[in-house]
Amino acid sequence: MNTLIYTSVLGFFCMVAEILNFRKFIVPVLVLGLALIFGLNMQDWNLNKTFYGMLRVDNFSVAFGGLAIFITLLVFILSSEYYAQEEHHLSDYMAILTFILAGALMMFSYSNLTMLFLGIETLSIALYVMAGSKRFNILSNEAGFKYFLMGSFVSCFLLFGIALVFGTAGSFDIQKIAQYPILHQGHVSPLYYTGIALIIFAMLFKASVAPFHFWAPDVYEGSPALITAYMSTLVKVAAFGALYKLVTAVFIYSNQQIELILNICAILTLVVGNLMALSQTNFKRLLAYSGISHAGYLMLIILSSRTQPAAILLYYSLGYALSTLAAFAIALPVFKATGSENIDAFNGLGSKKPVLAAALSVAMLGLAGIPPMAGFLGKYFIFTEALQNGFFYTTLIAIITSIVGVYYYFKVILAMYGQPTNDIKVETSFNYNLVLWVCLALSLALGIYPGPVINLF
């Protein structure tokens, strides 16, 4: 509760800072503020308290809230360099990014469907603005407009689903909603499961799960690169955290029809994400389809939710976020130096900047799930959990598509080492290097010793 309040206060500080001409202090104050909020958040471990029947602070919300704060902290460090030429808009950008975090925190800690809706909309509306924040870039304008139209359309399904659940269960509280099918065994209204399904479909859209993934490639490509990094990490973590909380709370695995639909969505996501990524030439579109494929692996955790694998969800989300942010910490200065966001912008980076090329190679291998990075053990834990829950064929498809997916990550590596050198000088600042090496070091450490996260719950 305090974490959400203080995060919102930081957002309002950003808005006031512009008026008071405190631009130079915005990023340092935000970084320090988020570090303090992270500490306050972890103090709520084992609190297990519900506030006003709307928000519940438990170990799940604290752990995923801490991950969201950590991701945002790294993005803020990147943003001071990324927005260096746009100081007059810095406070606006930072305020909106902070409110995106506030929305994510609500999605992790909701105990009432109204708070889930508020969290999703707080996060989404801010993202619509940031996706189209490059006013004079047609791709950015298109990304913001597409995301707004499709996101608003999906919000209608979310509201309709909440209305159906309230009409049948008589409450917005997820604990009371979970009791409805237990108290009415044999007499459960079909509208109840219809409403639950609509809510789940809305969250699958936010998580870019097939067949609700169609917005992601265009929006990721058109959005500013830093916002693409934020969307591909925080938003995906928030969507799956909220979805996992709903699925485990209402015991959705007891409904075979919805479980079958989720299984089909997982298979579609794995196949579409990995196969479509093979033909991509734009780096951001490549990572968009990569993110879709990773959503497929995360769907295996949702399917296995009867055994409560929250720690595996947290571990995989953290490993994915670290590798993605490390990749963007190198991609951002490369995009700036070359003026291109295609994979060929990395041509010859291995000879010009061998350390950076090696670091990006490690990040790509981490996304591919190659040891010793955290991505390898993350997939191992997911596949093991899915097999224990009886999803043999889905796991087999996941393993096959994971092997196929290695190819498109190697496209970036081959561009750096196997293509002619670009005559462009790539310079990386201290902030970019800090984020890069922190992410790679943590990913490597978790890949070697996963215990601190995997044994958290």
Average pLDDT, the chain: 91
Distance between CA 122 and CA 106 in Å, rounded? Answer: 9
pLDDT tens across 73-98, in order?
999 999 877 776 666 677 888 899 99
pLDDT of residue 446: 95
Q: Answer whether residue 255 shows pLDDT above 80.
A: no
Confidence of residue 426 (pLDDT cuts 50, 70, 90): confident
Confidence of residue 310 (pLDDT cuts 50, 70, 90): very high
Q: What percent of the chain has pLDDT over 70?
A: 97
pLDDT of residue 307: 80
Q: Answer whether residue 54 shows pLDDT above 90.
A: yes
Lowest mean pLDDT, pick from 179-193, 268-282, 374-388, 403-417: 179-193
pLDDT of residue 137: 85
Q: Answer whether residue 428 shows pLDDT above 90.
A: no
**How far, CA to CA in Å, does 386 sit from each of 214, 249, 304?**
26, 19, 6
Tokens of 205: 């859209």
Distance between CA 239 and CA 242 in Å, rounded? Answer: 5
Tokens of 449: 């010793």
Q: Which residues pair with 110 in a beta bridge?
A: 55
Cis peptide before 372 (omega within 30 of 0): yes
Q: Are 224 and 97 in contact (CB under 8 A)?
A: no
Cis peptide before 211 (omega within 30 of 0): yes
pLDDT of residue 88: 66
Confidence of residue 253 (pLDDT cuts 50, 70, 90): low
- Domain positions in the chain are 2-454
pLDDT tens across 325-372, in order?
999 999 999 998 888 899 998 988 888 888 999 999 999 999 999 999
pLDDT tens across 155-190, in order?
999 999 999 999 999 999 998 998 888 888 778 888
